[in-house]
Amino acid sequence: MARVYVVHYAEVALKGKNRPEFVRTLRRNLYRALSGMQPQVTLSEGRLLVSADGPDEKIERSISSTFGVAWFSPASIVERDLPKIRSSVLQLAREAAGSTFKVEARRSDKSFPMKSQEIAADLGGAVVEQTGKRVDLSHPEVVFHVDVTRSNAIVYSRKQGGPGGLPVGTAGRVMVLFSGGIDSPVAAWLTMKRGCVPVYVHFYLAPSPLATFESKVPRLVKALSSYGGKSTMVLVPFAEYQLATSGEEGGLEPSLFRRFMRMTCEALAPWFGASAIVTGDSLSQAASQTLWNIGAFDRGSSLPILRPLLTFDKEEIIGMARRISTYDLSLEEYKDCCAIITRHPRTRVKAEEVSDAVARLGLEKLVWRVVEGATLVTYNPSADELKSTPLSDAMAKSRAGVVARPPPLQD
């Protein structure tokens, strides 16, 4: 039998005339999160009613991972009939732990013959009489909620927090520089919380992407997919970059490589319809993340650079990584691009030095060569299916009209 939940949003409600678009995306994302459980999602006077057929734990985990959800609760939908409402509340009261309670009733339809306070008083009296529980309006152990709408009454008690934020897909796509360390997965998660769809860009060291497929990197993407749905990742080889820059000054190398990564993201962004680049930078956490070196990274960028972790310290970032279940994965051993660093990086690189090196080494042309050798990886969480194809093949097919570009953000 399908389980029914009442789902409330918070920030979405503040979007004025744009609210319907946000609600439509939230509904779509709930359908996606509950795929395989015969979901139904209907809008009812500023709230969503979600029904799904499956284990309660699985349903609740899916709803609690959907950005835009402020809170949700298992609910009973009954007729606008006081005896039936009373019966539903009494059933909840008999099942609830604790000896004190409170009834909160809200009558959004003023044609219902009783006012909200009268409904609460009637139901509270019935609970006291039938269960022996005591009313406590200040610090109740359980609260029974009754929402009387134009079409029915919704009865619930056990509110559970959602992740908040905005529905993924309402703020466009972003290219996420994704190392596989602690910071970049958290940065991706925070941009998803603000409605962005991430396209993960990972630079790998090995001669082929095979070692990356067998590493923690795809598992991190899978973990993040529980929040964002289908995921896209681009694996970019950077061995040719290393050969091209092997004679450069060691202190400049981290900033030069970061500029190269940014330029690669800029080259990829139009095909994916991305409007910004996301990094896991935390101000002054590393030599490459000082204000001067951040300036060198940003100089000449055609896209905004988003840094959701900029003011967080490492312990705060680790706390978020634990909460979203990426921390342990991030600690697994893997030699990624961040492992190739100089022993004495400079903290005050001048942007002009980096720009001069880019021009002298012909890195703009090199960007397009590494893009040609990149691999496109997609992950579908509903089928637990990871697919890969040469990015050049996917682009060629797209240009020929054989396959579409990445799917649109809205239905």
The domain that contains 377 carries what CATH number?
3.40.50.620
Examine the domain organization and report whether 15 and 157 are in the same domain.
yes
Residues 202, 157, single domain; the answer is no
CA 143 – CA 97 distance, rounded (Å): 11
Phi and psi at residue 79, to the nearest 5°: -70, 160
| Residue 330 covered by a domain | yes
Comparing CA positions, the residue from 171, 192, 193, 190 lying closest to residue 22 is: 171
128 domain-assigned: yes
Whether residue 3 contacts residue 51, with contact meaning beta carbons closer than 8 Å, is answered with yes
**Do residues 214 and 131 both lie within one domain?**
no
Confidence label for 399 from pLDDT (cuts 50, 70 and 90): low
Residues 55 and 180 occupy one common structural domain: no
Q: Specify if 280 maps to a domain.
A: yes
Q: Are residues 157 and 194 in the same domain?
A: no
Q: Quick one: DSSP state of residue 251?
A: T
What is the pLDDT at residue 397? 75
- Looking at the fold, whether 151 and 196 belong to one and the same domain comes out as no
When pLDDT is cut at 50, 70 and 90, the band that residue 16 belongs to is confident
Could you tell me if residue 20 is inside a domain? yes
Any idea what the CATH number is for the domain that residue 96 is in? Answer: 3.30.2130.30
Domain containing 279: what range? 173-400
Give per-residue pLDDT as tens, 352-361.
999 999 999 9
* Helix 183-193 with 216-228: angle, nearest 10 deg: 20
Q: Is residue 405 part of a domain?
A: no
- Asked if pLDDT for residue 405 goes beyond 60, the answer is no
| Same-domain status, 346 and 211 | yes
Final residue before a domain boundary, out of 161, 195, 214: 161
Q: Is residue 409 part of a domain?
A: no
Are 130 and 179 within one domain? Answer: no
Confidence band for 44, pLDDT divided at 50, 70 and 90: confident
* pLDDT mean over 77-90: 95
The total of other beta-carbon atoms located within 10 Å of residue 191's CB is: 22
Which residues lie closer than 8 Å to 293 by C-beta, 6 or more apart? 254, 255, 258, 287, 346, 347, 348, 349
Average pLDDT estimate for 202-226:
91
Name the average pLDDT for the chain.
91
pLDDT of residue 198: 97
157 and 213 within one domain: no
Residues 138 and 238 in one domain: no
Q: Which of 4-8, 253-257, 268-272, 405-409 has the lowest mean pLDDT?
A: 405-409
**pLDDT of 339 over the 60 cut:** no
Last residue of a domain, one of 161, 192, 220: 161
**How many angstroms separate the CA atoms of 294 and 312, rounded?**
16
Question: Is residue 406 pLDDT above 80, yes or no?
Answer: no
Residue 309 included in any domain: yes
Does a structural domain hold residue 272? Answer: yes
User: How far from each other are the two terminal CA atoms of the chain, in whole angstroms?
Assistant: 29
Nearest to 148 by CA among 190, 113, 117, 105: 105
CA gap 63, 51 in Å, rounded: 11
Residue 285 shares a structural domain with residue 177:
yes
- Please check the confidence at residue 25 and state whether its pLDDT lies above 90: yes
State both tokens at 137.
């309006």
Domain end, chosen from 112, 135, 161, is at 161
Judge if 59 and 148 occupy the same domain. Answer: yes
Whether residue 273 is predicted with pLDDT greater than 70 in this model: the reply is yes
* Residue 129, pLDDT above cutoff 50: yes
What's the total number of domains in the chain? Answer: 2
Distance, in Å, from the CA atom of 356 to the CA atom of 296, rounded to the nearest integer, reads 11
